[in-house]
């Protein structure tokens, strides 16, 4: 017996190259939210991202909730990512006509309706059936980019077909098998992904102690200790039984059928990656390239020197090295190093509209969110992701009016003060 997937199936449908013969499988349509998750009523009552986290905790088994929520070591960086926004205060101006606010931002040459995007997250289809498709659609409907992880459950082609109007980015981990790496890049281009996002902060997996304690795998291993927990989560359980999670983008050699994330990463991903490899991938991709996982200004400079169009200032949501700076702390030096040569996107710890305005004032084009949209997804699928985006949009809108800025470009460093 097993929970959350069929161990026997083991692998995704293909090793590189589009589906083996015939048409690619039709993307399944995610089921309605109420059927598997929080009711429309309880979703409507979620007034903040933190409220969505509470709903997600109710629907997910503990081990799955902890995989999303948890971070490396003592989780010092996890806490600091959010707390560091509090080092800054917003300084409102009055006497400005704010009757109409423009929340639009430009991400790498394409207009977005908000200065916000969805970060790449692995195993998303394990949190909600066809979760990547649900999230990509929600992003598209709200006019913001969605970045698909290398480690998605849905194949990248399925997501592209199911969310044709979404600004799709593909996140790449450089694999030990460079042939497979290049095939992923070629498949992403062929499927219509616009931006290649190369993540550089995961030579191996940070030690996430909650996952060690919980013995987290995909699917979950049935244990005496989680039986009661699973019995209390029928919505999630039914979901994974209907849509057994595997890695949709490549085959995995996994005889047991239970994937331990740290092992998966150390088997498949290459810890020897250098700037030469990244530069080569930059040349391979004809469209815009973003480099994700930068904290040092010299690395930001290097990224731009090899031709990156965007730098995603990120510590992977505190999941890699504990005790690193929060992105919002690292941002000013990076903005100075990069200047106008690339766009900067802040990711890790963004939970409020005001966080996004703070990042704008310090030179970012916008922010990217991981857990906030996953909490929405895990609560109520596409409707939950929509709710997460809607909450942040409303917070941005109100904060702009109260700050005295009718457009994002009007927000400057003068709207910030350091908290003493």
Ligand X SMILES: Cc1cc2nc3c(=O)[nH]c(=O)nc-3n(C[C@H](O)[C@H](O)[C@H](O)COP(=O)(O)O)c2cc1C
Ligand Y SMILES: O=C(O)C(=O)c1ccccc1
57 is in an annotated binding site: no
User: Among ligand Y, ligand X, none, what binds residue 306 when CB lies within 5 to 8 Å by partner kind?
Assistant: none
314 is in an annotated binding site: yes
User: Among ligand X, ligand Y, none, what binds residue 119 when CB lies within 5 to 8 Å by partner kind?
Assistant: ligand X
338 is written with which tokens?
């990069």
User: Could you tell me the smallest distance in angstroms from the CB atom of residue 353 to ligand Y?
Assistant: 25
* CA dist list (Å): 326 to 8, 49, 277, 293: 41, 19, 27, 11
User: Among ligand Y, ligand X, none, what binds residue 371 when CB lies within 5 to 8 Å by partner kind?
Assistant: ligand X
45 is written with which tokens?
């009552």
User: Among ligand Y, ligand X, none, what binds residue 384 when CB lies within 5 to 8 Å by partner kind?
Assistant: none
Listed in sequence order, the residues at least 6 apart from 276 whose beta carbon sits closer than 8 Å to its beta carbon are none
User: Could you tell me the smallest distance in angstroms from the CB atom of residue 202 to ligand Y?
Assistant: 6
280 is written with which tokens?
């080569």
What is the Cα–Cα distance from 329 to 87, expressed in whole angstroms? Answer: 9
What is the Cα–Cα distance from 304 to 204, expressed in whole angstroms? Answer: 24
Residue number, 135 or 202, with CB nearest to ligand Y = 202
Residue labelled with tokens 């969110």: 369
Residues near ligand Y (CB under 6 A): 122-123, 151, 202, 261, 264-265, 316, 319
358 is in an annotated binding site: no
Q: Which of 180, 179, 171 shows the shortest CA–CA distance to 119?
A: 171
Residue number, 183 or 199, with CB nearest to ligand X = 199
User: Could you tell me the smallest distance in angstroms from the CB atom of residue 291 to ligand X?
Assistant: 11
What is the Cα–Cα distance from 51 to 142, expressed in whole angstroms? Answer: 20
16 is in an annotated binding site: no
Residue number, 52 or 405, with CB nearest to ligand X = 52
Residue labelled with tokens 């530069």: 279
Query: What string of DSSP letters covers 235-281?
Result: HHHHHHHHS----SSS----SSS-B-HHHHHHHHB-TT--HHHHHHH
- Nearest residue to ligand Y, using CB? 122
User: Could you tell me the smallest distance in angstroms from the CB atom of residue 65 to ligand Y?
Assistant: 14
Q: Which of 194, 177, 215, 230 shows the shortest CA–CA distance to 108?
A: 194
Residue number, 122 or 372, with CB nearest to ligand Y = 122
Residue ranges of alpha helices (H) inside 269-370 are: 275-284, 297-305, 327-338, 353-361
Residues recognised as catalytic: 316
* CA dist list (Å): 241 to 39, 226, 251, 266, 389: 21, 17, 20, 28, 28
User: Could you tell me the smallest distance in angstroms from the CB atom of residue 304 to ligand X?
Assistant: 19
Residue number, 314 or 405, with CB nearest to ligand X = 314
User: Could you tell me the smallest distance in angstroms from the CB atom of residue 412 to ligand X?
Assistant: 25
Give kind and range of the element (H or E) at residue 400: helix 371-403
173 is in an annotated binding site: yes
Q: How far is CA 374 from the centre of its chain?
A: 8
Residue number, 314 or 343, with CB nearest to ligand Y = 314
Residues near ligand X (CB under 6 A): 67-68, 81, 119-122, 149-151, 171, 199, 292, 314, 316-317, 347-350, 369-372
292 is in an annotated binding site: yes
120 is in an annotated binding site: yes
Q: Which amino acids are annotated as binding site for glyoxylate, given as ranges?
A: 173, 208, 316, 319
Q: Which amino acids are annotated as binding site, given as ranges?
A: 120-122, 149, 171, 173, 199, 208, 292, 314, 316, 319, 347-351, 370-371
Q: Which amino acids are annotated as binding site for FMN, given as ranges?
A: 120-122, 149, 171, 199, 292, 314, 347-351, 370-371
């Amino acid at each position: 017996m097993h929970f959350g997937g069929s161990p026997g199936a083991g692998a995704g449908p293909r090793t590189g190259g589009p589906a083996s013969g015939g048409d690619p499988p039709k993307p399944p349509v995610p089921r309605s939210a109420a059927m598997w998750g929080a009711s429309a009523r309880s979703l409507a009552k979620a007034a903040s991202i933190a409220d969505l986290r509470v709903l997600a905790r109710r629907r997910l088994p503990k081990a799955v909730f902890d995989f999303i929520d948890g971070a490396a070591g003592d989780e010092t960086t996890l806490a600091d990512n959010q707390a560091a926004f509090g080092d800054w205060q917003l300084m409102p101006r009055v006497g400005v006509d704010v009757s109409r606010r423009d929340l639009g931002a430009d991400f790498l040459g394409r207009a977005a309706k908000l200065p916000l995007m969805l970060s790449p997250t692995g195993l998303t289809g394990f949190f909600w059936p066809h979760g990547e498709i649900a999230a990509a659609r929600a992003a598209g409907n709200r006019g913001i980019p969605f970045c698909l992880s290398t480690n998605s459950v849905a194949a990248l082609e399925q997501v592209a077909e199911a969310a044709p109007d979404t600004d799709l980015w593909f996140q790449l981990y450089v694999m030990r098998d460079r042939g497979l790496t290049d095939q992923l890049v070629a498949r992403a281009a062929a499927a219509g992904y616009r931006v290649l996002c190369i993540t550089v902060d995961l030579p191996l997996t940070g030690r996430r102690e909650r996952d060690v304690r919980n013995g987290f795998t995909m699917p979950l291993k049935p244990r005496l200790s989680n039986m009661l927990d699973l019995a209390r989560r029928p919505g999630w359980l039914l979901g994974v039984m209907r849509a057994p999670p595997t890695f949709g983008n490549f085959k995995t050699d996994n005889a047991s059928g239970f994937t331990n994330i740290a092992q998966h990463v150390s088997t498949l991903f290459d810890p020897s990656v250098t700037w030469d490899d990244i530069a080569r991938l930059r040349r391979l991709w004809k469209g815009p390239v973003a480099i994700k996982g930068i904290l040092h200004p010299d690395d930001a400079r290097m990224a731009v020197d090899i031709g990156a169009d965007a730098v995603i200032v990120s510590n992977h949501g505190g999941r890699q090295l504990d005790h690193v700076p929060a992105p919002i702390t690292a941002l000013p030096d990076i903005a100075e190093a990069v200047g106008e040569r690339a766009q900067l996107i802040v990711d890790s710890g963004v939970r409020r509209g005001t966080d996004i305005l703070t990042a704008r004032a310090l030179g970012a084009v916008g922010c990217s969110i991981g857990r906030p949209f996953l909490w929405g997804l895990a609560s109520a699928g596409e409707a939950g992701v929509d709710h997460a985006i809607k909450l942040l949009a409303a917070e941005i809108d109100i904060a702009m009016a109260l700050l005295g800025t009718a457009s994002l470009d009007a927000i400057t460093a003068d709207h910030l003060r350091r908290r003493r």
